[in-house]
């Protein structure tokens, strides 16, 4: 009788162990840790939060040619346009696209940009720092690209300024430089929109 009782008790212990293992393998909903002893559920439908200045992926672009200019450039549709001193600007909140044409005898080189353009920019651009010069190719041909950081215009509401990342492209055609300057808050991911703008340059004559 004692032997039968031991065997029965052992069988019961094994059964309980199997049942316990089975319950631990049941699936559960994914959760993110919210701190010690807490979990929070991740909402896959939550709206994406982009850094300030990011241009939306669905932004439309339209071609624009300044009066009496011999070129056209695609700019973001709906942005406000202003013209001053031969420079046409398109702005929307924190971003800006500027275009102008100036006489030039020869095409600017990267070497010339470092020795002449960088010092000029350093004198007239507030907060100018971290300049870099490279040569790039776009549909309209080769261009010298100058990148740097600058202080943005002061916000009339907050009275504050932030750091802009600036890309300045200089194209040469028929005795003129077409200069495209694109700027937005440092950290914004506008690589694709800026590529659309600079790759859209077309000469009309």
Q: DSSP letters of 156-183?
A: TTT----EEEEEEEEEEETTEEEEEEEE
- Domain presence at residue 19: no
- Domain presence at residue 41: no
> Does the pLDDT value for residue 12 go beyond 60?
no
Residue 4: predicted pLDDT = 43
- Domain presence at residue 14: no
Please tell me the distance from the alpha carbon of residue 71 to that of residue 202, in angstroms, as a whole number: 6
Question: How many domains, in total, are found in the chain?
Answer: 1
Q: Which domain holds residue 124?
A: 61-203
- Domain presence at residue 122: yes
Helix (H) or strand (E) segment spanning residue 56: none
- Domain presence at residue 89: yes
Mean pLDDT, the chain, integer: 83
CATH number, domain with residue 110 = 3.40.1000.10
> Does the pLDDT value for residue 35 go beyond 60?
no
- Domain presence at residue 34: no
* Structure tokens that stand for 192 in this block: 């694709």
- Domain presence at residue 197: yes
Residue 193: predicted pLDDT = 97
Please tell me the distance from the alpha carbon of residue 67 to that of residue 52, in angstroms, as a whole number: 33
- Domain presence at residue 181: yes
Return the closest-CA partner of residue 94 out of 109, 80, 105. 80
């Amino acid at each position: 009788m004692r032997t039968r009782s031991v065997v029965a008790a052992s069988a019961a212990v094994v059964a309980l162990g199997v049942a316990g293992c089975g319950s631990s393998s049941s699936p559960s909903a994914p959760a993110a840790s919210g701190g010690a002893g807490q979990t929070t559920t991740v909402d896959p439908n939550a709206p994406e939060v982009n850094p300030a200045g990011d241009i939306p992926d669905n932004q439309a672009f339209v071609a624009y040619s300044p009066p009496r200019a011999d070129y056209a450039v695609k700019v973001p549709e709906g942005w406000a346009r202003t013209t001053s001193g031969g420079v046409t600007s398109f702005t929307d909140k924190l971003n800006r696209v500027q275009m102008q044409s100036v006489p030039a005898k020869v095409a600017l080189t990267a070497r010339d940009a470092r020795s002449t353009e960088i010092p000029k920019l350093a004198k007239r651009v507030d907060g100018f720092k971290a300049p870099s010069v490279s040569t790039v190719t776009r549909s309209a041909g080769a261009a010298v690209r100058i990148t740097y950081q600058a202080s943005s215009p002061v916000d009339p509401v907050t009275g504050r300024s932030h750091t802009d990342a600036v890309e300045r492209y200089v194209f040469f055609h028929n005795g003129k430089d077409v200069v495209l300057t694109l700027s937005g808050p440092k950290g914004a991911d506008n690589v694709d929109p800026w590529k659309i703008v600079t790759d859209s340059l077309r000469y009309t004559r």
